A and B are shown apart, each in its own frame.
Chain A
Amino acid sequence: MNSKKSRTEGNDLPNDSPIEEHVQPNESKVKVKIDTTDTRPANGTADAILPTASSMTSNLEQEIINMIVSAYGNMIEVVYVRPSRMKIRVPPQDIVRVATFIKENFSFDHAESVAGTDYPKENQIEIVYHLSSYTDENIVPKILALSSRVNRDEPRIPSLINVFKSVEYHERETYEMVGVYFEGHPRMERFLLPEDWADIPPLRKDFRIKGR
């Protein structure tokens, strides 16, 4: 019976403080506050549920790109601007400056993933950081891909670990998979591969898997 009542009631769970004494099963209800704050309007029709109307979509991405380009000039190469996805390319030595600028002025606060791709024909390796946001409502659905190309013969790039703390393990994995050294990373070692791996980085295009 207690549990049936507790489904509809929400009592407050004390934040950040552990409950010291034992809770008797008879008198406890689920002390959960299901926070139902929602950013949607009250009528809840299909149109209103979409976070951004289609006319605002391209404007916000374009605004962000315009601000970055106006701050850094022709160092930035804009690869594409699509609804909810943007991609820019910067030279490797300036990536920390641009990333700090993006973090401070817009609210991109973490990096979702780091991908390294090998382009042997152009003798380059491309590193892409996908940046995303948890705090600003308008930017939450959008992802900014910050990329850079390094030379394949000497692949070194400054690490973004002091800007976005979430890239720590991703950069280690990119190091062992593609062979790019991130300068400034406190621990640049192999992560997923076995300890006795003595071959070239597996995701390079000249690493052929057996039989193919």
Chain B
Amino acid sequence: MTDFQEKVDETIKMGLEIVKETEEDRLMTLSVGPQHPGSGHFRFTVKVDGDYIVYCDPDPGYVHRGEEKMSEYRNFIQNIPHLERPVIHDSNNITYSYSLAVEELVNIEVPRRGQFIRAIASELNRQVYTLYWLAIYGIFLGHSTMFMWPTGDRELFIDLLEALTGARVTHAFNIPGGVRNDMPEGFKERCLRQIAYFEKRLVEYEDIFYNNPLFRQRTEGVGTLRKEDAISLGVTGSVVRASGVPFDVRKAEPYDIYNEIDFQVQYMKSGDSFARSMIPFLDMRESCHILRQLLDKIPQAGEVRAKLQPNPKGPAGESYKRVESARGALGYYIISDGSPKPYRVKISVGSFRNMLALPFLLVGSKLGDMPSIYWSLNYWPVEADR
């Protein structure tokens, strides 16, 4: 063979080797990073093969502010303002759980009217959070009305909360021992009027959002989480209730006066994205029933806050209390060593537990379904990072 022929053969051989692709070359890595439309401050890496996701790896920590470490340097009452910042628009629930745990440690008895006001504030906050969640879901799916309507209706609830507590979002209203101040006059009638208006509005929401064929097409059958997987992954809140487990902390382990309230746990069996986006809506409706009962049964007069020492402290011990927030069971594990400052505060949040379902559901689904799966897991990044 001539030199030239040898060179051609070699080139052809090299050319074939260059063109032949390995398995790894087919995959493309996408970084859905801390800057993307919808919710920022969370990053996850995704490897796609064509249109299908084969690998997903969450990377949280962009808003990790060290809440647990900071709690050890402040006493029990001083911890309230910074512990409510992980989820500022649902701040009454995250401080509710903390207050319950501290009350068990320090042995405080909350007066009855205070318990009712705490529950009212908690239910109003649940509506506010769920409406914001629905608004961001609209941004993810490109449904502008789903952003504008809930944001507008949410302002009316925020007005109520502002009349009750004095601030729009970070209320610092629940303290160990009760609530900070009493309801203003005329609050009950205002609240009842707002609930009556909102229940009519929920009917419109159902029509525009949940009966919308495009919304259904994007969310039905997408990201199905079966019941056994949901239980073993330990997810909580609306995610586990959408997979057929009727678990609600207010029913399972009633705290304060929730054992006198009559309501039903909403759950669905299908476990797909549509069920996960329907459950918070049904919870909002149930929350309106609960609010009516609370406003009906509240004692007319009474103390709202227990008298405390300036630096409350209790005997050494530990306590674990949980509360149903809008994202799931929020638990506080507080260890005290007899001093006014806690020794260790551990927060177990619903978002961190639901994050485990994200790689589980995304692997095997299409890239276009990613927004609808990700946001339907009811994941708030600031809370998961604490």
- A touches B in complex, CB < 8 A: yes
Binding site for B on A (CB under 8 A): 2-4, 6-7, 13-19, 22-25, 28-30, 32-38, 44, 46, 49-51, 84-85, 109-113, 115, 117, 128, 130, 134-135, 140-141, 143, 145, 164-170, 177, 191-194, 202-203, 207, 209, 212
Asked if B64 is at the interface (CB within 8 A of a chain A CB), the reply is yes
Question: Cβ of B348 and Cβ of A35 under 8 Å apart?
Answer: no
Question: Cβ of B254 and Cβ of A49 under 8 Å apart?
Answer: yes
Binds A, one of B105-113, B140-148, B204-212, B298-306: B204-212
Question: Cβ of B211 and Cβ of A165 under 8 Å apart?
Answer: no
Asked if B184 is at the interface (CB within 8 A of a chain A CB), the reply is no
Question: Cβ of A192 and Cβ of B213 under 8 Å apart?
Answer: no
Q: List 11 A-B contacts (CB under 8 A).
A: A15-B270, A16-B224, A16-B271, A19-B217, A23-B213, A23-B216, A113-B333, A113-B346, A115-B344, A117-B343, A202-B69
What is the minimal beta-carbon distance from A207 to any residue of chain B, in angstroms?
8
What is the minimal beta-carbon distance from A148 to any residue of chain B, in angstroms?
15
Question: Cβ of B231 and Cβ of A19 under 8 Å apart?
Answer: no
Q: How far is the CA of A14 from the CA of B224 in the complex (A)?
A: 13
Residues on A with C-beta less than 8 A from B245 are 134-135
Question: Cβ of B252 and Cβ of A16 under 8 Å apart?
Answer: no
**Given A109-B231, A165-B233, A166-B232, A193–B61 Cβ distance below 8 Å?**
yes
Residues on A with C-beta less than 8 A from B312 are none
Residue of B nearest to A115 (CB): B346
Residues on A with C-beta less than 8 A from B352 are 169-170
Question: Cβ of B68 and Cβ of A49 under 8 Å apart?
Answer: no
What is the minimal beta-carbon distance from B351 to any residue of chain A, in angstroms?
11
Question: Cβ of A169 and Cβ of B220 under 8 Å apart?
Answer: no
**Given A19-B221, A117-B343, A145–B320 Cβ distance below 8 Å?**
yes
Residues on B with C-beta less than 8 A from A30 are 206, 210-211
Question: Cβ of B385 and Cβ of A192 under 8 Å apart?
Answer: yes
Q: Give the 8 A-B CB pairs with smallest separation, nearest first.
A: A18-B221, A166-B234, A113-B348, A110-B234, A192-B61, A115-B346, A141-B253, A192-B64
Q: How far is the CA of A168 from the CA of B203 in the complex (A)?
A: 41
Asked if B17 is at the interface (CB within 8 A of a chain A CB), the reply is no
Residues on A with C-beta less than 8 A from B385 are 192
Q: Is the interface of A mostly helix, strand, loop or mixed?
A: loop
Residues on A with C-beta less than 8 A from B221 are 17-19
Residues on A with C-beta less than 8 A from B217 are 19, 22
Asked if B197 is at the interface (CB within 8 A of a chain A CB), the reply is no
Task: Identify B233's interface contact among A17, A166, A202, CB under 8 A.
Answer: A166
Question: Cβ of B232 and Cβ of A110 under 8 Å apart?
Answer: yes
Question: Cβ of A191 and Cβ of B61 under 8 Å apart?
Answer: yes
What is the minimal beta-carbon distance from B324 to any residue of chain A, in angstroms?
13
Asked if B331 is at the interface (CB within 8 A of a chain A CB), the reply is yes
Binds A, one of B20-28, B85-93, B257-265, B371-379: B257-265
Residues on B with C-beta less than 8 A from A111 are 234
Residue of A nearest to B66 (CB): A202
Residues on A with C-beta less than 8 A from B266 are 34
Q: How far is the CA of A141 from the CA of B259 in the complex (A)?
A: 13
Question: Cβ of A46 and Cβ of B260 under 8 Å apart?
Answer: yes
**Given A15-B270, A191-B61, A203-B68, A49–B231 Cβ distance below 8 Å?**
no
Q: How far is the CA of A4 from the CA of B206 in the complex (A)?
A: 10
Question: Cβ of A134 and Cβ of B240 under 8 Å apart?
Answer: yes
Question: Cβ of B253 and Cβ of A38 under 8 Å apart?
Answer: no
What is the minimal beta-carbon distance from B135 to any residue of chain A, in angstroms?
20
What is the minimal beta-carbon distance from B266 to any residue of chain A, in angstroms?
6
Residues on B with C-beta less than 8 A from A209 are 66, 69-70, 73
Residue of B nearest to A109 (CB): B231
Residues on B with C-beta less than 8 A from A4 are 203
> Hey, what's the 0/1 contact readout for B215-254 against A, CB within 8 Å counting as 1?
0110011101000000111100000100001110000111
Task: Identify B206's interface contact among A3, A35, A128, A168, CB under 8 A.
Answer: A3
Residues on B with C-beta less than 8 A from A212 are 73
Asked if B269 is at the interface (CB within 8 A of a chain A CB), the reply is yes
Residue of A nearest to B345 (CB): A115
Q: How far is the CA of A17 from the CA of B319 in the complex (A)?
A: 44
Q: How far is the CA of A152 from the CA of B117 in the complex (A)?
A: 45
Residues on B with C-beta less than 8 A from A117 are 335, 343-344
Interface residues of B in 273-292 (CB under 8 A from A): 275, 278, 282
Task: Identify A166's interface contact among B210, B246, B331, B356, CB under 8 A.
Answer: B356
**Given A109-B231, A193-B64, A44–B252 Cβ distance below 8 Å?**
no
